[in-house]
Amino acid sequence: MLLEIMEGVPQFTLSRSAIETGIGVVELLSEKTSVFASRGEAKKMISAGGVSINKIKISDPAEKAEVNDLLQNKYLLVQKGKKNYYLLLFL
């Protein structure tokens, strides 16, 4: 059902092992996906309060995403700014 709701939203498929030990949100959003073009852009936007994961604001660039954060045990919903959404699928 989540995939139906998020139809048309950019999606990225990643290996589940990438999140099992925890991954920094800056690395996840700038290197593992192309949500941000660079680490600097990701850090700046996070520090400014413009990034949410699963509707929870991320305020610390050093924060990590972990398996516990996954929706339905395989998705992360990333919001960049007010209107840009991305769905990360971990298989």
Domain boundaries, the chain: 10-90
Q: How many residues does the chain have?
A: 91
Among 79, 83, 69, 87, which Cα is nearest to 24's?
69
Question: In sequence order, which residues have a C-beta less than 8 Å from that of residue 39 and are 6 or more positions away?
Answer: 26, 27, 30, 31
7: pLDDT confidence band, cut at 50, 70 and 90?
confident
Q: Is the pTM of this model over 0.75?
A: yes
Torsion over CA: 4, 71, 80, 55 (sign): positive
Question: For the segment 25-78, what is each residue's pLDDT rounded down to a tens digit?
Answer: 999 999 999 999 999 999 999 999 999 999 999 999 999 999 999 999 999 999
Q: CATH homologous superfamily for 10-90? A: RNA-binding S4 domain (3.10.290.10)
